[in-house]
Amino acid sequence: MLKEGASVLSNQELLAIILRSGTKEESVLQLSHRLIQQFEGLNLLKDATIDELIAVKGIGNAKAVEILASLELGKRVNRLQIDE
């Protein structure tokens, strides 16, 4: 990523960076893959609630808040681009 930029990473890899760690049973890449599958990609993940995220095994309060904060930041950046 340092050489080629974030645009070359998959959604799974970007989410793994946000999550930072997996669980005792699965790596952060496995956890991010399962999360993306459960929410049908970014389509449903972008509107997920904290309760929906916490219901996923391996996602606690801290990880759920990090995901929601990242999604909100992306929405705000997108709104800036639309307003310009």
pLDDT of res. 81: 66
Say how many Å lie between the first and final Cα of the chain, rounded. Answer: 28
Per-residue pLDDT of the chain (84 residues; tens, 9 = 90+): 667 788 899 999 999 999 999 999 999 999 999 999 999 999 999 999 999 999 999 999 999 999 999 999 999 988 886 666
pLDDT of res. 14: 96
Provide the 10 A C-beta neighbour count for residue 38.
16
Domains of the chain: 6-83 (1.10.150.20)
pLDDT of res. 80: 84
Which residue carries 């960076």 as its tokens? 17
- Residues with Cβ < 8 Å from 22, sequence gap 6 or more? 28, 29, 30, 31, 58
